[in-house]
Copies of this chain bind each other. A is one copy, B any other.
Amino acid sequence: MQRIIPTLLASTLLASPALANDLREAALDMFKPLPSTVPAVADNPITPAKIELGKMLYFDPRLSASGVFSCYSCHNLATGGDDNLETSIGHGWQKGPRNAPTVLNSVLNEAQFWDGRAADLAEQAKGPIQAGVEMANTPANVVATLNSMPGYVAAFDSAFDGGDAVSFDNMAKAIEAFEATLLTPAPFDAWLNGNDAALSEVELAGLELFMDKGCASCHSGVNVGGHGYYPFGLIEKPGSDVLPEGDKGRFAVTETADDEYVFRASPLRNIAETAPYFHSGKVWDLKVAVQIMAESQLGEELTDGEADQIVAFLGALSGPVPAVSVPALPAETGTTPRPTAEILPQ
């Protein structure tokens, strides 16, 4: 692990412009500030009409079989883009298998879900809508629902060219377009962009430790994670309270023994707002999560002060959610499929 600046000096000397610039240069080798514009997305040109439609869909509980859950339910923009539950509660009060990741900045993740099984947000969006323990719906029922409301048909027609604009694929693309707008520039971005005053001394010390101890080996890039897959317990496997044996992570995707208990390194933006932590959602305290990571992934026993500094740095990864006004959704019509709370066998 490279040592950027001798740790003992860091906390007193980072105020010095020269050393701050050294740290910034090293940081810019590992991280990238958020872009100031909505990122381009493969095969999905992002337009205002598509964003607006995507916002409607994101907020619409009628995408679920029961009429109870929308994307927003588990990826709540008021609470850090997730639901603050160990694992989400969905159709029939069933619990999902893994903690809901934040939607914020997720467009910049290399792949989606804890095991990276969806290549992009459009593919991701189709998952929970169909999962029996989440929204429990079917593509055919979603399309029938959307087609039953002239307001939706018009919104699809204006967002997508060509006939048959209302489709499950286009629904997913519109949701992806809206989600791509959910970037949250944070103090860390301002600092990366050259504003020395954006991070406090303790946050800078935490950043330095974060790079120095090796956290940034996995949690790097624009989302400080969100790319690359690593075994949870690289050095020391955490207990089954944190790493339940039944969930073998990416193994389920690749069926390769090497991928047992392998998960995508979490993106860490807004991590301070998105407790509880890990795919199991079993740890509520960010400091404890940092300590578990240091031990299990790096074989490092952090001092209390070190853990506090890293937590302070992680706090500087939180930025405000863009203003999102609640959309006005079209009313059901006589042909809209009725909601059902029934739990059907999968």
Contacts and interface: CB of A to CB of B under 8 A. Distances in A.
Contacts of A85: 66-68, 339
B83 A61 contact: yes
Contacts of A327: 78
A289 B284 CA distance: 49
A273 to B, nearest CB: 4
B328 A325 contact: no
A324 B83 CA distance: 20
A252 interface: no
A332 B84 contact: yes
Nearest to A288: B334
A316 interface: no
A285 B334 contact: yes
A18 interface: no
Each complex incorporates copies of this chain amounting to 2
A332 B95 contact: no
Contact of A331 (B80, B325, B329): B80
A77 B324 CA distance: 13
A59 interface: yes
A93 B62 contact: no
Contacts of A285: 334
Contact of A329 (B78, B92, B284, B339): B78
A79 interface: yes
Contacts of A325: 323-326
B67 A83 contact: yes
B83 A326 contact: no
A119 interface: no
A76 interface: yes
Interface in A294-346: 320-321, 323-329, 331-332, 334, 338-339, 341
Interface in A46-105: 56, 59-62, 66-68, 73, 76-80, 83-85, 89, 92-93, 95
Contacts of A80: 331
A174 interface: no
Closest 4 CB pairs of A and B: A93-B93, A273-B331, A77-B326, A78-B329
24 contacts: A56-B78, A59-B78, A60-B79, A62-B84, A66-B85, A67-B83, A67-B84, A68-B73, A73-B73, A77-B326, A78-B326, A78-B329, A79-B329, A79-B331, A80-B331, A84-B332, A84-B339, A89-B341, A92-B93, A275-B332, A284-B334, A284-B338, A285-B334, A325-B326
